[in-house]
Amino acid sequence: MLLLVFCLSGQFIFAQLLDNLRIGFESNSAWYNDDKKTGSFYDNENQDGDKHLRFNNYLKLDYTFLENFTATVQVESYEPYALINYSPNFEGTNIGTYALNYRNSKFNVTAGHYYTQFGSGLILRTWEDRQLGLNNALLGGKVEYEPIESVSLTALYGKQRYGFKTSDGEIFGANAEINLSSIMSLEKSSLSLGLSYVGRKEAIDFEDPEFNELTNAFSGRLDYSEGNFYSSLEYVNKSDDTVVQLSQLSNAFVKPGNAILFNTGFSQKGFGLDATFRRLENMSFYSERKKDGNLFLENIVNYTPGLTKQHDYLLTNIFVYQAQSQVSFLDPGILKAGEIGGQIDLFYKINKDTPLGGKYGTKLAFNVSYWAGLKGDFDYGNQDYSTDLFGFGNKYFSDINFEVRKKWSPKWSTIFYYVNQYYNKKEIEGNFGADPIKTNILVAEATHKLGGGKSIRFEAQKLWSDSESHDWTGGTFEFNLNSRYSFYVNDIYNSGDDGDTAETHYFNVGGSYTKGATRLGLNYGRQRAGLICVGGVCRYAAEATGVNANLTMSF
């Protein structure tokens, strides 16, 4: 009898433990092979020409106990090496992040690694993106406190993660979110105020610096909405600090930074309009100064994504804009202190049973973005500059695109997409001899439902350029057998004379299997050299050929 009670109690306790445990697993693997078009596989960093098989594995455990506590551990493995284009600091197998969190109605306290964001992220954002190889979590402590329903306060301290290490620089932060609508008893509108402070303290490793170890950044923001209208304004100021050039610190070039972000819009059924303006001046911000502008985005403190349309197609993502938040005086012909510009989004649905709407209606989307350098006086010899507040300098980038989505019948739907782009390669990439690239891109997509969960999708893409180097053609065919199985093949080809991409088929063949929270993807093909972007944040990826597999599971 006692044995039976013991066994039943043990089963109950074990069941309770499992109920409180959440497990997530992700494995990204690749076999890179030599290819006469993309070249021999070789990693110059590790000198490992024979290590063709690579793995990035992530195991995350979240355990809740005593109602208010959650313990989190993420184990990561990069064996025998990380996938190519990832930082060499991702090496071996170790605990990547760990944390203990306590939460009740008033407090949210975390010790260990944590992710956070103040406002839009212009002053502080930490996050993980495995596709980009980015994880800048802070290791330290964070306390969030709500003394009353309309006020939220945050204080934090930490050192940023890179690889399995932490930065030498320390991050301090405080934030306040105040719901003025509640305090002022506003019933028909919403008004909130946000105030933030972030400090970066890092020892300075040369004599008699004319800037402080502690760099201070302050931000204030105001959000307002009423009915279908909304708007927000944010301003950031960063104290004097050295301008880092080629990872070198200097007393000769010490400048403050600032940022302005304004967003407004209006939406109602069938119509939406959104406009964003942003100005950045010397707003690159890293927990270690010498990491400024590093290839792998390590130690980045703030979030300054490229505010342009996030395109879905292969050819529309060849010339992608990266935010130009940094100061660059590396060449007298390319002098930059930041960026200014914005974008406008317009959405409209033509009603059903109208001449243009047809039986199912028609969806239209229009987007335009424009970005330029800051206008001002730039003195290369004395390494100095002054800027106009709202002056537009050299044009960096523009993107005008128009989309028509149309459902023709219960089985057929189409998308027609046009993009006009201007890409100033010289200013954006620092390529002094390059001319601006002007492109026109057309995409046509059709989806046909076959019944029984089956469907097929076609894409046809074409890119024309004023440059003889870029004349791209692309296509995609996708077959969905049911909700679990999907297969695809795509290819893009440049018939221009660009020495890096001409007469090379960048093809991919693959498929996926999905069941519940488990997904397995497999593909073979070529990766074009260029930028990989997620949410407007981009990093460079080298050309490669091979088999790639992705497995994600959660339970």
Q: Exposed, middle or buried by CB within 10 Å (0-12, 13-18, 19+), for 400?
A: middle
- The answer as to whether 201 is a domain residue is yes
Residues paired with 36 in a beta bridge: none
- The answer as to whether 543 is a domain residue is no
Between CA 470 and CA 501 the distance in angstroms is 9
Q: Which of 33-47, 234-248, 427-441, 490-504 has the lowest mean pLDDT?
A: 33-47
Between CA 428 and CA 278 the distance in angstroms is 17
Before 80, cis peptide (omega within 30)?
Answer: yes
- The answer as to whether 212 is a domain residue is yes
What letter does residue 427 receive in the DSSP assignment?
Answer: H
Count of domains forming the chain: 1
- The answer as to whether 182 is a domain residue is yes
Model confidence pLDDT, tens digit, residues 288-306: 999 998 889 999 999 999 9
- The answer as to whether 151 is a domain residue is yes
Between CA 28 and CA 473 the distance in angstroms is 29
Task: Work out the average pLDDT over 332-348.
Answer: 96
Q: Do 327 and 145 meet the contact criterion of CB atoms below 8 Å apart?
A: no
Label residue 42 by pLDDT band (50, 70, 90): low
Task: Work out the average pLDDT over 214-219.
Answer: 98
Residue 350 has pLDDT above 60, yes or no: yes
Q: List Cα–Cα distances, 87 to 20, 51, 163, 180, 296, in angstroms.
A: 34, 16, 8, 44, 6
Residues found in the chain: 555
Sign of CA dihedral 206, 207, 210, 214: positive
Strands 485-494 and 384-407: unpaired
Between CA 290 and CA 201 the distance in angstroms is 13
Between CA 114 and CA 87 the distance in angstroms is 21
Label residue 165 by pLDDT band (50, 70, 90): very high
Q: List Cα–Cα distances, 125 to 12, 141, 286, in angstroms.
A: 42, 15, 11
Task: Work out the average pLDDT over 362-374.
Answer: 98
Residue 246, phi then psi, degrees to nearest 5:
50, 45
Model confidence pLDDT, tens digit, residues 74-130: 999 999 999 988 999 999 999 999 999 999 999 999 999 999 999 999 999 999 999
Candidates 111, 89, 99; CA nearest to 45 is: 89
Between CA 457 and CA 468 the distance in angstroms is 31
Q: Which of 253-257, 435-439, 467-471 has the lowest mean pLDDT?
A: 467-471
Collect all residues with Cβ–Cβ distance below 8 Å to 12 and sequence separation of at least 6.
none
- The answer as to whether 294 is a domain residue is yes
Tell me, what's the pLDDT at 45?
A: 56
- The answer as to whether 340 is a domain residue is no
Which two three-digit tokens encode residue 55? 């793995």
Helix (H, G, I), strand (E, B) or coil at 225: strand
**The one-letter amino acid at 314:** L
Which two three-digit tokens encode residue 356? 């243009």
Residue 3 has pLDDT above 50, yes or no: no
Q: Do 207 and 254 meet the contact criterion of CB atoms below 8 Å apart?
A: no
499 or 487, higher pLDDT: 487
Residue 346 has pLDDT above 80, yes or no: yes
Between CA 335 and CA 265 the distance in angstroms is 34
- Residue 344: its H or E element: strand 338-350
Q: Do 299 and 392 meet the contact criterion of CB atoms below 8 Å apart?
A: no
Residues paired with 152 in a beta bridge: 177
Model confidence pLDDT, tens digit, residues 531-552: 888 888 998 888 899 999 999 9
Q: List Cα–Cα distances, 550 to 18, 57, 356, 458, in angstroms.
A: 26, 10, 43, 24
Candidates 480, 470, 479; CA nearest to 438 is: 470
Residues paired with 165 in a beta bridge: 162
Residues paired with 460 in a beta bridge: 444, 475
Residue 203 lies in domain: 130-304
Q: Do 238 and 260 meet the contact criterion of CB atoms below 8 Å apart?
A: no
Give one DSSP letter per residue of 171-207, joined into a string.
EEEEEEEEEHHHHHT-SSEEEEEEEEEEEEE----SS
3-state helix, strand, coil in the chain (%, to 5): 5, 60, 35
Candidates 470, 542, 463, 459; CA nearest to 501 is: 470
Alpha carbons within 13 angstroms on the beta-carbon side of residue 36 total 1
- The answer as to whether 482 is a domain residue is no
Between CA 420 and CA 409 the distance in angstroms is 30
Average model confidence (pLDDT) for the chain? 92
Residue 468, phi then psi, degrees to nearest 5:
-70, -10
Residue 40 has pLDDT above 70, yes or no: yes
What letter does residue 324 receive in the DSSP assignment?
Answer: -
- Give the distance, in angstroms, between the CA of residue 247 and the centroid of all CA atoms in the same chain: 24
Tell me, what's the pLDDT at 44?
A: 59
**The one-letter amino acid at 269:** K
